[in-house]
Amino acid sequence: MPIHFAAHSRRRFLAQLAGGIAAVHSASWLEAAEAEQERWLLFSDTHIAADRTKVAREVNMAENLERAVKAAVAKGKGAKGVFVNGDCAFNTGEAGDYATFASLIEPLRQAGLPVHVTLGNHDHRENIRKGLREAGEQKVVLTEKQVSILEGAKANWFLLDTLELVNKTPGLLGEAQLEWLGKELDTRKDKAAIVMMHHNPDLKEKPSGLKDTARLWEVLAPRKQVKALFYGHSHTWKVEQHESGIHQINLPAVAYVFNQAMTNGWVEAELTAKQMTLQLNAFKEEFADNGKRRVLTWRS
Ligand SMILES: [Zn+2]
C-alpha cells in the first residue's frame, strides 16, 4: 500500500483506480516530457518513533530525517518528488510514529515535493491511516490497494508492497501481486520501468529479505522495459547488476546502520530515456562513495 503525500504548493495529482489491485497516478507534474531529465530524491528506512528524542543504535532517527529533509529541500528544486522506501516507523508501526513522520516530512511538501511511501516490515497498514488522521492530515492520498504506478516522463515507477507480517524480518510479494505486476508491465513497454520495494532480493534458503525473489526475477528479467530495481531493508548502500542486466540498487537507511563500516544517508536519481545517474548523500562525509555520481545505462 503505497501512500502518497501531495505537495502543498502544487496541484494535487489525480488518483485513478486502474482495476486489479493498483492505483495509477498520472500526474500533471509528471508529464513535463520536454525536460531532458527527471530528478527524484530517494529515502529509505527512516524508523521514526512517536517520540522525537528516541535513540536507537546511537542515532536519533528524527534528527537524521530532519537532516535528510533539509538537504533534500535545498537540493530539490526541479525534482519531481521524494520516495520513502519503507520502514517509515520505528519498529511496530504505531499510529503516533506516523504522526511524527508526517510532521518531519512536512518541509518537503511545503517545498512543492510530493512524497511517495512504500511499507516495510516495521510498518503497519491500519496504523498509518490512523496516525495520519489523528495528525489532522487531509492532503494524503491513501490508496485502498496495495501497489501503485507513477507514470513519469522518462520512466514508470512500480511501487510494490512486500510487508508480510509487522515486525517480522522477511517480506513477501505473493502471487496476486506478481501476476498484477507482469500484466501492468506488459501494457507499458514504451518507457523504462523502475521497480521499488522495501525488501532486498534474497535467494537464501532462510531469507531475511524477499521470500519470493526467484518468482520476482521470473517476472522482471524477460520484460526488457524493466531497467532497475530499488530496495532498502538491509540499511546498506550498494549498486549491483543482475545477470539479466537489471540494475539493483540497495538504498541506504536515513536512520541507523547495522554495520559501522556502512553509511546512512539518501540518494538523488536523475533519469533520461537511456540511463539513470545516482548520487549518494552520505551522512558519514568521509564515506568513499559520498557525492560521487554513478551512471547506470539501461539494458537494451
Ligand atoms: Zn529498516
Between the CA of 19 and the centroid of ligand 1 the distance, in Å, is 31
The DSSP element (H or E) to which 66 belongs, if any, is: helix 61-75
Q: What is the Cα–Cα distance from 49 to 36, expressed in whole angstroms?
A: 39
Per DSSP, the residues of 109-176 read HHTT--EEEE--TT--HHHHHHHHHHTT--SEEE-SSSEEEEE-SSEEEEE-----STT-S-B---HH
Using a pLDDT cut of 70, give the percent of the chain over it. 87
Between the CA of 87 and the centroid of ligand 1 the distance, in Å, is 5
pLDDT band at 8, cuts 50/70/90?
Answer: confident
Q: Which of 161-170, 206-215, 226-235, 289-298 has the lowest mean pLDDT?
A: 161-170
Between the CA of 14 and the centroid of ligand 1 the distance, in Å, is 30
231-282: per-residue pLDDT in tens?
999 999 999 999 999 999 999 999 999 999 999 999 999 999 999 999 999 9
DSSP state of 216: H
Between the CA of 185 and the centroid of ligand 1 the distance, in Å, is 28
Between the CA of 44 and the centroid of ligand 1 the distance, in Å, is 8
Give the pLDDT of residue 189. Answer: 96
Between the CA of 94 and the centroid of ligand 1 the distance, in Å, is 15
Between the CA of 30 and the centroid of ligand 1 the distance, in Å, is 29
Do 254 and 44 form a contact (C-beta atoms < 8 A)?
Answer: yes
Between the CA of 187 and the centroid of ligand 1 the distance, in Å, is 32
Between the CA of 59 and the centroid of ligand 1 the distance, in Å, is 13
Bridge partners, 60 (sequence order) = 55
Give the pLDDT of residue 34. Answer: 47
Between the CA of 262 and the centroid of ligand 1 the distance, in Å, is 14
Q: What is the Cα–Cα distance from 120 to 170, expressed in whole angstroms?
A: 10
Between the CA of 38 and the centroid of ligand 1 the distance, in Å, is 27
Do 288 and 122 form a contact (C-beta atoms < 8 A)?
Answer: no
Between the CA of 255 and the centroid of ligand 1 the distance, in Å, is 8
Give the pLDDT of residue 9. Answer: 59
Between the CA of 113 and the centroid of ligand 1 the distance, in Å, is 23
Tell me what the mean pLDDT of segment 80-99 comes to.
95
Q: What is the Cα–Cα distance from 278 to 200, expressed in whole angstroms?
A: 18
109-156: per-residue pLDDT in tens?
999 999 999 999 999 988 887 887 777 776 666 555 568 899 988 999
User: Which of 117-131, 162-176, 203-217 holds the top average pLDDT?
Assistant: 203-217
Averaged confidence pLDDT in the chain: 88
Residue 164 has pLDDT above 50, yes or no: yes
Between the CA of 125 and the centroid of ligand 1 the distance, in Å, is 16
Tell me what the mean pLDDT of segment 53-62 comes to.
97
Q: What is the Cα–Cα distance from 45 to 23, expressed in whole angstroms?
A: 23
Domain assignment of residue 135, given as a range: 3-297
Going by their DSSP bridges, the two strands 81-85 and 115-118 should be labelled as parallel
Residue 73 has pLDDT above 50, yes or no: yes
Give the pLDDT of residue 19. Answer: 31
Say which CATH number the domain at 139 has: 3.60.21.10
pTM: 0.90
Between the CA of 74 and the centroid of ligand 1 the distance, in Å, is 25
Residue 191 has pLDDT above 80, yes or no: yes
What protein residues have CB closer than 5 angstroms to ion ligand 1? 45, 87
Domain count, the chain: 1
